[in-house]
Amino acid sequence: MSGETPNQATSAGGTRSRSSRRMAFAEQELRLISALVLLLGLGLFLALPFVLSIGSVVFLPLTTAIILTIILSPLADKLAGWGVPNILASLVALLTFFAVLLLALALILQPAVALFDSVPAMAKTVAERFSQLQDEFAWLAMANEQLSALMGQSGAREVVLASPSVIQQLAFATPSLLLETLLTLLMTFFMIEARVRLRRHLLFDRASYGTSIKAARVMREIQDRVAAYILTVAWINGCVGIVVAFGAWMLGVEAPVMWGGLAALLNFLPYIGPLLMTALLTLFGIGTAETLVLGFIPAAAYLALHTIESNVLTPSILGARFTMNPVMILIALSYFSWIWGVFGALLSVPILLMLTAFFDHVGKPNLVGFIFGEPLFATNLMALGLDENATDHAA
């Protein structure tokens, strides 16, 4: 016989029914809140480019300073560990980066100025080569004209609007560029100098010890991942630049150091940089070589080198820790290029690394699963709440 009376069984069934209704209502409420959070995040994603673009004088130096601080903080920590005062260690780290940047630009710009006088001759040669190709494919142009005549399309009149010259554009852009560079260097210095106080604030000024540990881990993970990635990629790109410079010297290309420096710098731009480098080598080769076949050799050699580097060398060195979805890289590249142009393209991968490291700790949103009824985050908050209630009830 069962020990429960009919009243007790009815009461237990009613309690389970009310608990199920509360659970269903809580799940619906959680899903509604998650949908609102998702809509707010989407709105922020769409509105953020306009805010960052309009306020680029403030936000671009700030973002660049944060990334430079992450990169240069390990150097400042090492100098401080050798007994160098914190202010001096921060200044030396920043000056070291600035000196390396100026040296790289000097190695590229000085030969480029020397080659600038030969640009008209190269342009003339390229025009002649393409004119020869156009003569060989004249039948294609005639077919296009006949097709346009059959479709009733007439030649449209072109209206050319006058645009500012390159010198005028540089004159307008120089004051803003100098201001942003100065703001970036100043903010980087003060952020590096304040890194110790920030770490102490994260560790000791939190109400919960677990929160302090988690915040410190997030900060350490972001710094380690971004700094290790950029420094490793810098070494790889430097080796690529050396190989390109040596290959250009072997092929008799003018200014091999400049081409090696360009290859190293453009390799920081995923996908876009190597394509741009290939196009530059193609145009330069066609403009200086005697035949079209010889003109394509430098670009073909660089393309082969980049294929080996991007598919074999870089993945084996970086490993799975820095493996990112190519679609996400392209989205970040186009997103931040839209906002800040070339500087945004250079900052896109470090920003993506920072966001990836952050979401690895706080949890990634399950966007696809949420559409089909799954929770937005992998951690089931309702399950955690039930476990806590069950523990408290058992106690």
Calpha distance 391→395 (Å, rounded): 6
CB atoms within 10 A of CB 190: 12
pLDDT in tens, the chain (395 residues): 455 565 555 555 556 676 776 776 666 777 777 778 778 878 887 888 888 888 888 888 888 888 888 888 888 888 888 988 888 988 999 999 888 888 877 777 777 766 666 666 666 666 666 666 555 555 555 656 665 666 654 444 544 444 454 444 444 555 667 778 888 888 888 888 888 787 777 666 666 666 667 777 777 778 888 888 888 888 888 899 899 989 888 888 777 888 888 888 888 888 888 888 888 888 887 777 777 777 788 888 899 988 888 888 887 777 666 667 778 888 888 888 888 888 888 888 888 888 887 777 766 776 666 666 667 666 544 444 444 444 444 44
- DSSP structure string for 304-371: HHHHHIIIIIHHHHH-GGG---HHHHHHHHHHHHHHHTHHHHHHHHHHHHHHHHHHHHH--B-HHHHH
pLDDT for position 390: 42
The CA-CA-CA angle for residues 369, 371, 377, to 5°, reads 45
Structure tokens at 327: 């679609």
Q: How many CA atoms lie within 13 A of 173 on its CB side?
A: 7
Nearest partner of 351 among 278, 270, 251, judged by Cα: 270
The DSSP code for 145 is H
What are the angstrom distances between the C-alpha of 353 and each of 55, 324, 391?
23, 9, 39
Size (the chain), residues: 395
Evaluate whether 64 touches 347 at the Cβ level (below 8 Å).
yes
C-alpha 278/C-alpha 263 separation (Å) is 9
Alpha carbons 372 and 47: distance in angstroms, whole number:
27
Q: Which two tokens stand for residue 287?
A: 């403009």
Q: Name the CA radius of gyration of the chain, rounded.
A: 30
Alpha-carbon span 4 to 17, nearest angstrom: 18
Torsion angles phi and psi, residue 130, rounded to 5: -70, -30
What six digits make up the tokens of 185? 């260097």
Q: Cα separation of 57 and 195, whole Å?
A: 24
CB half-sphere exposure, 388, CA atoms < 13 A: 6
Q: What is the DSSP letter of 252?
A: T
Name beta bridge partners: 365: 377
CB 329 within 8 A of CB 323: no
